[in-house]
Structure 1
Amino acid sequence: MKKNIAIVMGGYSSEHDISIKSGNIVYAHLSKEIYTTFRIVVTKNEWYYWDDSDAKIPVDRSNFTISLNEETIAFDAVFNTIHGTPGEDGLLQAYFELLTIPQTSCNHYTAAVTFNKRDCISILKAYHIPVAENYFINKNQPINIDEITSKVGLPCFVKANRSGSSFGVVKAHTKEAIAPALKEAFTVDNEVIIESFLSGTEISVGVACFNGTPTVLGITEIVTENDFFDYEAKYLGKSEEITPARLTTEQNKEVEALTLEVYKALNMKGFSRTDFIFNNGKPYFLEINTNPGLSEASILPQQSIKKGISLAELFANEVEECLKLHF
């Protein structure tokens, strides 16, 4: 009997539309011969099943079921494609854990930690993972520009602490630019992290699990037309993504090992995409995405295809891995 798989997409954040694209790619490629698939859209106002006729059938949030043709449909697993809250910050993971429904992404605690850049970096420092110099500040705290620049230098990155797709990220080149950059970042989150600028080759490393073993899918080099890898560079064609990255054999080995060390240190499962920058020949951790983009233009799918793994195979494996871990 075919298993019912809910492909959850949307979410409450500015990444809603990007998530819809990811979810639709999974829906298009996940085998209909093996699974019965359902697109479930999550918004602040409603959760609903989105069928092929564009009808909206409400989800019963008390048990995550839908009523279809006078039959109650329960789900054997959830393929989580929500970027941002509530699918990448632990809220949705905790909900499914309470309902004992297996889902593809990491557990609620790991999701919450990795979504919080400051907490994630603090943990990885204990594992001696190289990171940029950083400074933490919350909304309504006094701003000491001299203290900030003496710690992180110039230029620096001012980042909303809990955000994705480069929303709320500003590169400040001067002292005078820091205050307005903070003002912008605080429109996205009430916590901000300010990081030193590291110059070098930026790369992104995808990971998936096969037979319970975390495996690097590939290493992609990011060459942006903009000042940094911002929203335009990520989604509007203002960057070149080169897979495999133009690294030496030793650099490849080093960053693959470092990626898997990060993955294990954070108790990850499922997909991840970890970003690094090579500065003076040394890879520094930038961030980890626990629900990376899955559209055909996204980095992790590109890496999978280059490795000879079709999207149908990649997504089916993700479902089977989460079912094995649950039962």
Structure 2
Amino acid sequence: MKHVAIIMGGYSSEYKISLLSGNVVYQSLDRSKYVPYRIHLFKNKWVFVADDEQEYPIDKNDFSIIYQGKKIIFDVVFNAIHGSPGEDGLIQAYFELINMPHTSCGYYQAALTMNKRDMLSVLKPYGIKTAISYYLNQGDVIDTEAIIQKVGLPCFVKPNKSGSSFGISKPKTSEELLTAIDKAYLEDNEIIIESFLEGTEVSVGVINYQGEVKVLPITEIVSENDFFDYEAKYMGKSQEITPARISEEVALKISEITKKIYIILKMEGFSRSEFILVNGEPFLLEMNTIPGLTNESILPQQAREANISLAALFDNAICLALDKS
């Protein structure tokens, strides 16, 4: 029986989504193979939460706990933290230092993909298409005329390092642009402003399944809102159609590009990439390395379409983590 620490929570606005994901993993793991533990990681505490909701502190020296009079050192960590520190490389670097196997990608890949503008810069030389972008750091002079001249209106204003669509706006005027920049700065001190791409939004999951890179069926996203924002993602204001209503030819093109990105970046574990399809050409928006893992989340939907159950999906991730340790 392997002792599995399922880490959830985190330091960002996404902590509630992470707790939902982590609890689904906890409920889904095969109890004949694994002893799962819910581990909450917050800025003010790292604790194991027992079934009676009692909390036991984590010893950060070796990521162990004392429970029922015994010291438990985990065999593997299942990472279900969206945002910092689970998706930005911090926790991956810590686990590497203490030699703890975990289900997510390496610390460099996590840091790179969390930073939208750095990731897009790395991929552009490989021919990966992206929106036209303009970058701002907090404190920079805001020249709305220069921004509009480069990216046009409407455009998208995004925090550079955040997920779940927190802080994202779609301004249509120069006044709205300034408001959008202020909103994005509440989430991050770096901003990426991108040209608006008119087209179909799709989301593509990639996993290493039984030792092979596998692209999952593509999901088409139809938002009731102006774009795929937090409400659309988590409050039922969107339709997620799997498989996407696109031709086989376009689906093959997207799958090949998504797999290419996964391999270029030397990814491991889960990834979910977002694209806008413009006249059949995929433009990359971002990649998530700890995508949502609830029953309603996109990657589990795609796995189901590929006849992979949640239990099999999570078991595979743990086996791969243990195999590479």
TM-score, normalised via structure 1 length: 0.98
Describe how 1:127-276 pairs up with structure 2 within 5 A: 127-276=126-275
State the distance in 1 between where 2:161 and 2:273 align: 16
Moved more, 19-28 or 202-211: 202-211
Which residue of 2 is the match for residue 77 of structure 1? 76
Which residue identity does 1:106 align to in structure 2?
C
Q: Which runs of 5+ in 2 are unaligned?
A: none
Identity %: 53
State the distance in 1 between where 2:208 and 2:309 align: 15
Which residue identity does 2:212 align to in structure 1?
T
User: Are 1:87 and 2:112 an aligned pair?
Assistant: no
Describe the superposition over 1:10-52 as per-residue Cα deviations: whole angstroms up to 9, x where unpaired: 0011100100000000000011110111110001110111111
Describe the superposition over 1:64-94 as per-residue Cα deviations: whole angstroms up to 9, x where unpaired: 0000122110011100000000000000000
Which residue of 2 is the match for residue 106 of structure 1? 105
Describe how 1:38-53 pairs up with structure 2 within 5 A: 38-53=37-52
What's the CA shift for 1:212? 2.1
What's the CA shift for 1:211? 2.7
State the distance in 1 between where 2:49 and 2:215 align: 33
State the distance in 1 between where 2:142 and 2:45 align: 39
State the distance in 2 between where 1:160 and 1:108 align: 21
Which residue identity does 2:103 align to in structure 1?
T
Secondary structure at the aligned position of 1:60 is classed as: coil
State the distance in 2 between where 1:246 and 1:51 align: 44
What's the CA shift for 1:280? 2.1
Q: Which runs of 4+ in 1 moved over 2 A?
A: none
What's the CA shift for 1:146? 1.1
Which residue identity does 2:278 align to in structure 1?
N
Question: What count of residue pairs does the alignment treat as equivalent?
Answer: 325
Which residue identity does 1:122 align to in structure 2?
S
Describe how 1:312-323 pairs up with structure 2 within 5 A: 312-323=311-322
What's the CA shift for 1:282? 0.8
TM-score, normalised via structure 2 length: 0.99
Which residue identity does 1:113 align to in structure 2?
L
State the distance in 1 between where 2:314 and 2:58 align: 24
What's the CA shift for 1:325? 1.6
State the distance in 2 between where 1:116 and 1:263 align: 16
Which residue of 2 is the match for residue 3 of structure 1? 2
What's the CA shift for 1:302? 0.7
State the distance in 2 between where 1:247 and 1:58 align: 49
Secondary structure at the aligned position of 1:247 is classed as: coil
State the distance in 2 between where 1:309 and 1:187 align: 38
Which residue of 2 is the match for residue 119 of structure 1? 118
State the distance in 1 between where 2:280 and 2:307 align: 29
State the distance in 2 between where 1:313 and 1:250 align: 29
State the distance in 1 between where 2:67 and 2:34 align: 17
Describe the superposition over 1:136-159 as per-residue Cα deviations: whole angstroms up to 9, x where unpaired: 011111011111111111110000
What's the CA shift for 1:264? 1.0
Q: Which runs of 5+ in 1 are unaligned?
A: none
State the distance in 2 between where 1:216 and 1:31 align: 25
State the distance in 1 between where 2:145 and 2:68 align: 65
Moved more, 211-220 or 45-54: 211-220
Describe the superposition over 1:160-201 as per-residue Cα deviations: whole angstroms up to 9, x where unpaired: 000000001110111221111101111111100000000111
